[in-house]
Amino acid sequence: MAIIKYIFLSLVLSVPAYAMDANQLLKQVDRNLTPLSYEAYRKLINIEPSGRKKEFVLYTAKKGKDKVAALFLSPASEKGRSTLRAEDNMWLYIPNIAKPVRITSLQSVVGGIFNNADILRLDYADEYNAVNLVDQGKEYLLHLKAKTKTVAYDQLRMWVDKDRLSPIRIECLTEASMLIKTLYFKDIKDFGAGIVRPAVVETDSPLYKGYKSVMIFANVRKREFNDEIFTLTFMSKLDSLR
């Protein structure tokens, strides 16, 4: 009995340390993907089974763990629109409309497979707990669980490159473990100032067979912003940051 009790206590005591290591790894992945506060340009491309494409160019500003805004630069039909996320709250501003309108994480302001949670993404560690870490040789496999019901995906399976501590692939799942989409991180690029990260994120979904969406990053760089930039009243003035 004494031996069994010792083994049981050892297992119990080891769990928090293991979980902490997984969450520390997740935080490092976040910082390797983007600085805590930064600006970037992104091109989003939606590709239909026919090969038809629709492209958008966005300027993005992010501050800390819970504030991110994006401004549409093209196409001309979307120019001047902007989106804002503050914690779990999201808004869309359309020029000549009186007030910004609320949007949800599962909607998409660009159509395609990327939803608003993907486009206005916060740190993974801010929205998810790493509940398991598996060493797979050249990669780590992180199992992530959403901290709240407001998060777009209940579970994530994240494969992380051991050398770069950068994601290779992420599977997004429902609470019942149904696959919603897969994100593929490609084309590692040095953006300068210590920012080395995938320049391309692609996604496909078993729910939309034959469709694909691509996000291409450019000019990712550290930048500090005032809090007023991430307010409803500033959404019409985001272009002044460029």
Residue 166 lies in a domain: yes
Domain contains 199: yes
d(CA 102, CA 113): 20
At residue 8, the pLDDT reads 37
> Which letter, b or e, does each residue of 58-72 get, where b requires 16 or more Cβ atoms within 10 Å of its Cβ?
bbbbbbeebbbbbbb
Round to whole Å and give the CA distance between 52 and 154: 32
CATH code of the domain containing 216: 2.50.20.10
Give the mean model confidence (pLDDT) for residues 94-115.
94
Task: Using pLDDT thresholds of 50, 70 and 90, give the confidence band for residue 23.
Answer: very high
Would you say residue 12 lies in a domain? Answer: no
Per-residue pLDDT tens over the stretch 170-227 = 999 999 999 999 999 999 999 999 999 999 999 999 999 999 999 999 999 999 999 9
pLDDT at 16 > cutoff 60: no
Structural domain of 170: 20-241
In a domain, 154, yes or no: yes
Residue 4 lies in a domain: no
pLDDT in tens, 45-62: 999 999 999 999 999 999
pTM recorded for the entire structure:
0.89
Average pLDDT over residues 87-95: 95
Domain annotation covers residue 129: yes
Q: Which helix (H) or strand (E) holds 117?
A: helix 116-119
Residues 6+ apart with CB under 8 A from 188: 164, 166, 196, 197, 198, 199
pLDDT at residue 18 above 60? no
Q: Decide if 6 is inside a domain.
A: no
5 within a domain of the structure (yes/no)? no
**Number of domain units in the chain:** 1
